[in-house]
Amino acid sequence: MTGVTDHYDVVVIGSGAGGGTLARTLAMSGKRILLLERGNFLPRELSNWQSPQGPAAGRYVSRDTWYDAAGNSFEPRVHYFAGGATKLYGADLSRLRPADFGEIAHMDGLSPAWPLSYDEFEPWYAKAEWLYQVRGLHGEDPTEGSWSEEYPWPPVSHEPLVQQIADDLDRAGYYPFHVPRGIMLDERNPPASLCIRCVTCDGHPCLVHAKADADLIAVRPLLSRLNVTMLVNAEVTRLKTDRRGHSVTRVIVRRDGVREEYRGDIVVLAAGAVNSAKILLRSVSDRHPDGLANGSGQVGRNFMCHRVADVVALGEKPNETVFAQTLGINAFYLAGEQRRPSQPAGYARRWPLGSIQMLPRSARLAREAIGFRLTTEDLPRPANRVTIDRGKRPRLAYTATNQGEAALLLHEFETMLSRSSLQLTRDETVTVAGVTGAGIADQAGTCRFGSDRATSVLDVHCKAHELDNLYVADASFLPSVGAVGPALTTMANAIRVGEHLVRRLG
């Protein structure tokens, strides 16, 4: 690492899926980069695997406090570490479906079209899959789009019980598939495999560093590079512009409690959807009285997360599966098509309902219990938004959308189970929705990109419409979230924006 100076070619704020991946893309150009991270490196310790009360309540959750629309405080259960939320993510690295890039009619309104098509975006999906060493298999799931490259590794194989369920569902016409995962598991050569297959992947840091997170894959390889400086415990509090308000000239940081300032020809904000909006909204000035890049009033709006329901089914024998998150079902993802053999001719589902995945075994449940996660798309609503109160604290107003579709997905799921050897245990159905539960994990959409300055914050390259040198490259850019996790799409977009910046910087 170089020593700390105050001027860089590019200052990147946040080292997660967006910021970390973008910094790695840029670093190869030799440009001088400053990476500012609010947290520190997550310690490698036995507690990585021992968090007793599950992911959200564990020791790695930040003490941050946010407020809801009524001003009530809540703990958002976010993680501030090098690598961002990917340090604890489940490493499900799924692509959005081609339909997600177009306009989709939902029960509660429209999911808007992107300024890019799936085919235009696809090359960066392939690059992100190779960078994050994704294990997957194209061609199993009829909802997926075309691919320019095969996955770098074969999919993680199903354990016997999961394989049995997959076979059942395949016979019933539900097209089960292997979920693409960013874990470093080498089943062909077990001694060389980092991953030892355990139940703690989702919601825990990986003690053996076998999870392809943004820290291990993107950030750590940069630390030995002379053109990259990384500062941890460095919280960006606001951005300042030149007098005309056209360019960001100073990045204000609180590092270990001390105020510092840095400058960059280009500034890339990637602090996560809520925190990026917070930084912009706090950066008021005469030229930007409503916050930076916010002439359209769109900064902070269109916040999205996912509607998630964790559902428990009962099998005939004890569930001895260790790594169950290999099975996915997208048979209900799209509206209108994919009539199953069991359905009458002419059956067309009116609404897109979402995705289904198997969950790891839980010690809290019966031995025969088998968990599934049902995920439904959340729609961008202007009123679902981040604002800043008088004390400059973040407020998050949020009302979930598509509850009707979530109910229909549960209904389809029940029907699907009735065609397998599993039974749904109604008593043990747990619904998690809203921003105080697991939903915040997939926060997105607060600075969406688009071609219309009146309805978006960023242009197609993720540069703020109103500023010459400010980019946003985290999950904020998403105009819609589909019903898959946002991580791979955020990483792919960060590579795309990084390559644009390399060209811009010459």
Ligand X SMILES: Cc1cc2nc3c(=O)[nH]c(=O)nc-3n(C[C@H](O)[C@H](O)[C@H](O)COP(=O)(O)OP(=O)(O)OC[C@H]3O[C@@H](n4cnc5c(N)ncnc54)[C@H](O)[C@@H]3O)c2cc1C
Q: Which residues bind ligand X (CB under 6 A)?
A: 13-19, 36-39, 55, 80, 84-86, 88-92, 202-203, 235-236, 270-273, 275, 279, 441-442, 474-475, 485-488, 490
**Closest among 409, 372, 443, 488 to 136, alpha carbons compared:** 488
- Two tokens, residue 490: 């955020």
Whichever of 293 and 408 has its CB closer to ligand X, that residue is: 293
Amino acid identity at 55: P
d(CA 10, CA 264): 5
- Smallest separation, CB 382 to ligand X (Å): 20
Whichever of 34 and 314 has its CB closer to ligand X, that residue is: 34
- Smallest separation, CB 477 to ligand X (Å): 9
**Other Cβ atoms closer than 10 A to 324:** 22
Whichever of 201 and 370 has its CB closer to ligand X, that residue is: 201
CA 13 to chain centre: 17
- Smallest separation, CB 478 to ligand X (Å): 9
Whichever of 231 and 407 has its CB closer to ligand X, that residue is: 231
- Smallest separation, CB 170 to ligand X (Å): 24
- 11 class by beta-carbon count within 10 Å (0-12 exposed, 13-18 middle, 19+ buried): buried
- Smallest separation, CB 23 to ligand X (Å): 11
d(CA 109, CA 103): 10
- Smallest separation, CB 244 to ligand X (Å): 25
d(CA 290, CA 271): 20
- Two tokens, residue 27: 């670093």
- When computed from its CA atoms, the radius of gyration of the chain, rounded to whole angstroms, is 22
Whichever of 125 and 420 has its CB closer to ligand X, that residue is: 125
d(CA 73, CA 68): 6
- Smallest separation, CB 287 to ligand X (Å): 22
E-state strands within 170-247? 177-178, 228-231, 234-241
Whichever of 203 and 354 has its CB closer to ligand X, that residue is: 203
d(CA 86, CA 272): 11
Whichever of 206 and 314 has its CB closer to ligand X, that residue is: 206
